[in-house]
Every structure is written in structure tokens, then in C-alpha cells.
Amino acid sequence: MTIRKKFTLLLSISISIALLIPNASVAREQSSQEVKSPCRLQVGNAHLSTNLYEKFKTRAVKVNASSICNVPQSKVTITVELWKTGLLGNHLVTKQTTRNSGTTFPGSRVNNFNTFSKCLNLTRTNYFGVAYSKALIDGKWQFARKVLSKEIASLNCGT
Amino acid sequence: MDLDDPNSLSPKEILREKEVMEKFFQLMNVQRSRYEEQAKSLMANKTLRLGSENFMLEYSISGNRYKCESIPDSKKGDSFSIELPIPDSEEERVEALVQLFAQSEAGLIQ
């Protein structure tokens, strides 16, 4: 084998190794990303409060959110925003943050069910909810990314 | 868990939700004149602190938002905050603040 051939062979082996290393690291990253988060934050669709309508014949638009973990979580803070759509962009209707001081058992739910706004008239309006949260899990703060309602709800409720 | 399915809520959760909504509406009506006075005070002074049994409620005007912060007596207590955008007209502003006062006091139900 000539020196030139030896050099070409070594070069191709080096390139192959160099290409394999990042692939392995990407695979490790993908594998860690596939590990399911121990917590889930969910925000429901905006809806009219049936309680208020049944008892007082008045309307309020409401959105609920919950955080559930399969590990103990403490100091859970859940922020829920109620938004309405508009011609020039979306408008915040109300924002409510609940801070739970205790620790919850695995599988138990922490709720923010207090985000609502009274309807001022019957104007058809489109609403959706946004929620985000943080909690102390295993001594570290974990932040849940913003989640949105599955659907935009069109309700006879002007705010 | 499906928050859009009322059947997925526990009886305790349903009861609490009902209590908060009913209390809110009752307060809006029964305490309206007090809330309107509080609204004038908040708009004039930009801050307002109100004490209740186990909480302090702190209202403020910051940027284009009305804000309410509940401050529990004990560091171990749960707390909440509410924010509303400030409406354009004077009438709407008073109504927004009446709603904020009622909502924050109803939120104290544990």
C-alpha cells in the first residue's frame, strides 16, 4: 500500500468516526427527550358557568386548569389567562394565579378553577385559555410550558 | 382527566367551584356600593389594602392593569393574584373593579 493510499484510508476512517460521534449524541438527546415528564398541565376549553346561570340567570365565561404529577410536587403555582380573539389581535380578559403552599401526593391534582369573567352582554365572542405553571419537584423548580385550550369557544358572552 | 368533562371533577371540586361562583355573584350585588367606593379610592390613590380574617388583599394599578394580590397571614397559607386590563371608559373601569373586588373576596373561600 502506498503512502497516499494509507493516508486516504486513515482519513476515511477518521471521517466515519467523526460522523458517528454526533449521531450517538443526537440519539442520546432524543432518548432523553422521549422520557415522559412526571407532570402534566392541562387547560380546558372556555365555557359558560352553568352554576351561575342555573341559579341567578346570569352569565360568566370561565376556564379551568389543573396540574397532575406522578411524583410528589410542592409549592405549585398555576397561572391561567382567559383570552378573547379580536380583529387586531387577541385581548386578555383576565389572569389568575394560584399558589398552593403544600405538598401533593403522586396522582393528586392541583387546580386553578377560579379564572372567570362576568358577561356584560350577549355579544358572540371567541375565547380560549392559556396556562403555565411551576412546582418544586425533588428539590428543583420545574416549569411547565404554556398550554392552550384545545378549541376556541364561541360563546354568547361579551366582556 | 378531561377538564371539559364535568364528570371528571370530584364532588369536592364541583362544590368549591359552585361556592366560589355563587359567592362572587352575591358579593357583586350585596356589596356593590362598598366596592364602588373602594373603586374610587383605588383610582385616586393607585393602591388599596384591605384586611380580612386570615388574609390581606392588596390592590394596585400598574401599567394598564388592575391587580390584586392576596397575602396570607401565615407563610404556609395558599395565595392568589388576579389581573385585569384597564378598560377605556370610566363606567367600564368601575365595573371592572367591582368585579375584581368580588372575585378576590370570593376567592378567599378555602
Same domain, A52 and A111: yes
Smallest CA–CA distance, residue A56 to chain B, in Å, is: 8
Cβ B99–A91 below 8 Å, yes or no?
no
Same domain, A1 and A47: no
pLDDT tens digits in sequence order for chain A, 159 residues long: 555 555 555 545 544 444 344 444 444 444 444 556 788 999 999 999 888 888 888 899 999 999 999 999 999 999 999 999 998 899 999 999 999 998 999 988 899 998 999 999 999 999 999 999 999 998 999 999 999 999 999 999 999
Residues of chain B with pLDDT under 50: none
C-alpha distance from residue A96 to each of A5, A79, B10, B19 (Å): 71, 6, 22, 18
C-alpha distance from residue B8 to each of A66, A69, A105, A133, B73 (Å): 12, 17, 19, 21, 33
CATH assignment of the domain containing A102: 2.60.40.10
Residue A12 confidence (pLDDT)? 53
Residue B17 confidence (pLDDT)? 85
Residue A3 confidence (pLDDT)? 55
Same domain, A137 and A93: yes
Q: Which structural domain range is residue A143 located in?
A: 39-158
Same domain, A86 and A108: yes
Same domain, A59 and A11: no
Q: Tell me which residue has cell 476515511.
A: A12
Q: Tell me which residue has cell 364535568.
A: B6
How many structural domains comprise chain A?
2
Same domain, A30 and A54: no
Cβ A99–B80 below 8 Å, yes or no?
yes
Residue A1 confidence (pLDDT)? 55
Q: Cβ distance A127 to A153 under 8 Å?
A: yes
Same domain, A55 and A118: yes
Same domain, A62 and A31: no
Q: Report residue B47 as a C-alpha cell.
A: 393602591
**What is chain A's alpha carbon radius of gyration, rounded to the nearest angstrom?**
25
Name the residue of chain B whose CA is nearest to A95's CA.
B83
Q: Report residue A139 as a C-alpha cell.
A: 428539590
Residues 6+ apart with CB under 8 A from A55: B22, B25
Same domain, A83 and A127: yes
| Helices of type H across chain B | 11-30, 32-45, 90-106
Residue A146 confidence (pLDDT)? 95
Cβ B3–A100 below 8 Å, yes or no?
no
d(CA A58, CA B101): 18
d(CA A109, CA A41): 10
Same domain, A3 and A58: no
Same domain, A82 and A44: yes
Name the residue of chain B whose CA is nearest to A43's CA.
B3
Q: Cβ distance A129 to A44 under 8 Å?
A: yes
Listed as own residue / partner, the contacts of B63-71 with beta carbons closer than 8 Å and 24 or more positions apart are B66/B42, B66/B96, B66/B97, B66/B100, B68/B100, B68/B103, B68/B104, B70/B104, B70/B107, B70/B108
Q: Report residue A27 as a C-alpha cell.
A: 440519539
Name the residue of chain B whose CA is nearest to A114's CA.
B107
Same domain, A9 and A84: no
Smallest CA–CA distance, residue B18 to chain A, in Å, is: 6
